[in-house]
Amino acid sequence: MRSKSFFLFPLFFILGLALVQCSTSQTTDSTQNNKIAPSSNLTRTEAETRSKLISKTHYNLKFNLESADTFYTATAEIHFTLSAQTETFLDFKSAEILSYTINGQTKPAVYENYRVQLAKDDLRKGENTVAINFKQNYSKNGRGIYRFQDSEDSKVYIWTKLEPFDANHVFPCFDQPDLKATFAAEVTAPKEWKVVFATLPTKQSATDGNKTQWTFPDSPIMSTYLFSLHAGQYEVWNDKYKSVPLRLFARASLKKYVDAAYWFSITKKGFGYYEKEFAYPYPFKKYDQLLVPEFSSGGMENVAAVNYNERFIQRGPASREEKENLANILLHEMAHMWFGDLVTNKWWDELWLNESFATFMAFNAVSKATEFKDSWMSFQRRGKLTAYIEDQYPTTHPISTEVPDINATFNHFDAITYSKGASSLRQLSYYLGEDNFRKGVQRYFKEHAYTNTTLTQFIGALEKASETNLRTWSIAWLRNAGLDTLKVTPECQQGKLSNLKFELIPPVNGDRPRPHRIPITLYTTEGKNVKAWPIDDWKTDGSNETRAITKSLPCPEFILPNGTDVAYIKMLMTVDHIKWAEKNLHLISNAQARGVFWNQAYLNLRDGSVKIDDFVKMYFAQYEKEQHTAIVQQFFTYWTAISMYAPNRTNIEVTIRNTILDQIEKGFWEQTTKASDPLWKKTLLSSWARRVETEASQHKLADLLDGTLDVKPLEIDQDTRWILLQRLSAMGYPNIEERLFAEKAKDTTENGFKAYLAAEAAKPSLQAKTKWLEEMNRPDANWSLARKQSILFSMFPSTPKQNQLRGEFRDQFYKTMSTLNKRNEDVSYNKSYANLAPMGCESNLIQELDNYINSQDWNVVTKKVLVIQNAENKICAKVQSR
């Protein structure tokens, strides 16, 4: 699964990056801290007991779907074999059971606490059958089975999302990954609907009542969380890869925006790359991809029927960045067809491996099989930087942790799971050599196809292929949290390099540093040029070293570790590094190395090693000289950081801050107007518009909307118009109400309504914000989580006025957040609301929020959001104190 925009933490948490508290003990049952009824949970111990007992499971499922209903009816017939006659249970969330039969006997179901109890006396050793007829409501939170009615044409769409523990929201089942099963389905739906399952239908029959019955044969053996069902008036496109049918589905109202040819092109390139890389053909008989409305993640790797978020459809020409992002998500989910679907984790403590592998392989595939050859630079500026940041929060955790129950799983869908894990696999591939890593992966698929595995089996396959003992590496990298820091010091004699001193600094509260293999490049200036002097990699078991240099090399002016970004490490910087880069960084020919430097400088700014004044000077010296698009986009992240970190307590500080930001705004506007490629111009304009503050820039936004200012050859599409309007609304631009109403009337789509909600919530008025919070929480409002998040994630954009309002909102936030925590009805909503926590650099605010966090018992997922927000507040205070 690809998490939405990597993670659902808002922009202000990591200052412009697209993202997303561990319990103190990694082995404590999380029901103690999560306060979720134990019955809606499943412990690892329970799963292990059930796994030893149950085998040969098969589900015959019959669904009856009606267009107008907010519920559906179904029958689940479950066949399984018991190794002993003993009681067990089925997982089943919030349904109404209409009838219950076990081994031919109809009786009242013992259904309580979201479990159907299967009594010992009703079971037998050997084969058993349970049949349950039930009624179930569709969900509103993007989990389980979801129903969406398009406001534009009233057409209905149904889809499922079941990872990690939501198959039991759809039908009763043994909902754990190592109880793989086969599934057959019969679905009755309105005749104009299409129905999609893990297999292609063998029969479609007309029934009474203007409906069609779809019959689907047995699926491949798979875990319950990989089951899927889609139904509705989807539009469909068809193609083929070798003998594998390819289909693409989307809402009818979005048909004109779907570039099916591009989807199929990337899909075929991905299959070609993976089949060769894994030495294993695509394991299923068809491959469907479905764009589904209000999907709560980026994508989900259901067997042979992958879900995608509709944000991958643009209502205008797609920029290069948008096309690359789409290629990446397509190949991320495709990688799961092998790693996740063909071979599946035994339990959720290996979730990190599932997602890390898909992330690692997707960037590899995109860089080697598509036009986006520098795709790893996109990983560097988004995923990897996010991982570096999260790995230094108090909420950091080892890549691989004990997951005692399902609820603990939700605490680990983060940048450490995805991006640090992917970085560790990239480092491991470099450490072992790409060929050895590839052979190990091929061995793994060959030996474990259609089974469940653990980390030990994956590492074992790599050890055998590389003839390397990885026990020390595994413990150091996977069982320890935090980020190592490297300090490299040259020792020179008579202008020549004699020694390099390597010093590894372990993470705060860490053990000892990890093993690494790190490329090292020395730099000198020659006139107006910079010369790179690559030297042998530094390979270490975690120990420090002083390396004697035997080659004749000049004394370096600057040393950059990890210029190719294959390692996961922080470089300790000094003011001398910053001053050299201020003059010379743009002269380094390797764009990857320049991008690595900027990320490292940003990390050193955040931890106080680099002063904000020095960072800003370097920024101004370099940002107009940089030509690589990926690095230019990094500059937008740093723009947001500067706006947040620049002190504005006194009149003089406010003047300095405004002068700095005015200069940045003017510089990027000039870059935008000069850009000749309309798609690059679109990226620049959108990024610029999201950050501007000055009146002059606000007038430009209004003129662009009115058509009195143009940025030819770019045509402003509908989605870009909403970006401009949302910023004008956040700034309190005159007559914004009339503009928003007019745009809402013009854009009657669901996307348009959510964009309108975001713009309304962004207004610089507590009264307006409170109005929308009350509106969405009315008992009769029945809003989806997606609509609520449109408001919550747009409430306090980054501006001085909005920061002031956020401070005034504190008391209301504390009161509401405490109420939500006590009710704990929807963890996803509570987590989203927690993003409104106080933000600022003042010591009294930091202490206040710390006291609030420590004042009550929190769901660990919600607490993590709060702790991270205050960690950001403390970082801001540290930066300003320098």
Q: Provide the residue type at 56 as one letter.
A: K
Give all strands of the β-sheet with 111-112 in edge-to-edge order: 88-91, 115-118, 111-112
Cβ neighbours around 57 below 10 Å, total: 18
Q: Which residues contact 79 (CB under 8 A, 6 or more apart)?
A: 56, 57, 58, 59, 60, 127, 128, 129
Q: Which of 138, 135, 94 is nearest to 116 (CA)?
A: 94
312-329 residue pLDDT tens: 999 999 999 999 999 999
Cβ neighbours around 577 below 10 Å, total: 24
Q: Provide the residue type at 811 as one letter.
A: D
Ramachandran category for residue 688: left, alpha or beta (phi over 0 → left; psi -120 to 50 → alpha): alpha
Rounded Cα distance, 814 and 793, in Å: 17
Q: Which residues contact 456 (CB under 8 A, 6 or more apart)?
A: none
Give me the helix-helix angle, 421-432 and 351-369, nearest 10°: 70
Rounded Cα distance, 150 and 253, in Å: 8
- Position 827 scores a pLDDT of 83
**How far, in Å, are 47, 239, 355, 374, 692 from residue 277 at the CA level?**
34, 23, 18, 19, 45
CA-based max dimension of the chain:
94
- Position 824 scores a pLDDT of 67
**How far, in Å, are 275, 609, 751, 758, 788 from residue 755 at the CA level?**
41, 40, 6, 5, 12
> Which 8-state DSSP code applies to residue 380?
I
**How far, in Å, are 407, 719, 830 from residue 862 at the CA level?**
12, 31, 6
Q: What is the DSSP string of 795-858?
A: SS-SSHHHHHHHHHTHHHHHHHHHHHHHH-S-HHHHHHHHTTS---S-HHHHHHHHHHHTTS--
Q: Provide the residue type at 697 as one letter.
A: S
Query: What's the sign of the alpha-carbon dihedral 90, 96, 101, 107?
Result: positive
Q: Which residues contact 69 (CB under 8 A, 6 or more apart)?
A: none
Hey, what CATH topology would domain 50-232 get?
Immunoglobulin-like (2.60.40)
- Position 771 scores a pLDDT of 92
List 519's β-bridge partners, or say none: none
Rounded Cα distance, 675 and 657, in Å: 27
User: E-assigned strands of 193-241?
Assistant: 194-196, 203-207, 211-216, 230-232, 235-241
Rounded Cα distance, 376 and 385, in Å: 12
Q: Which of 27, 26, 9 is nearest to 18 (CA)?
A: 9
Instruction: List the chain domain ranges.
Output: 50-232
Q: What is the residue whose two structure tokens read 């000049």?
A: 554
Rounded Cα distance, 651 and 76, in Å: 69
Do residues 148 and 157 lie in contact, with contact meaning Cβ atoms separated by under 8 Å? yes
Do residues 72 and 64 lie in contact, with contact meaning Cβ atoms separated by under 8 Å? yes
Q: Which residues contact 356 (CB under 8 A, 6 or more apart)?
A: 399, 417, 418, 420, 421, 422, 424, 425
- Position 24 scores a pLDDT of 28
What length does the chain have? 882
> Which 8-state DSSP code applies to residue 623?
T
* Mean pLDDT, 10 residues at a time, the chain of 882 residues: 49 39 31 39 96 98 92 98 98 96 98 96 98 96 94 96 97 98 98 98 92 98 99 98 98 97 99 98 99 95 98 93 97 98 96 96 98 96 95 94 89 88 98 97 98 97 98 94 96 96 88 92 95 95 94 96 97 95 97 98 96 96 94 96 92 94 96 94 97 97 96 93 98 97 96 96 96 86 89 95 95 95 82 95 97 94 96 96 86
Rounded Cα distance, 305 and 246, in Å: 10
List 148's β-bridge partners, or say none: 157
Q: Both tokens of residue 615?
A: 């960072």
**How far, in Å, are 41, 190, 196, 248 from residue 156 at the CA level?**
31, 10, 14, 17
List 504's β-bridge partners, or say none: 486
Rounded Cα distance, 390 and 597, in Å: 19
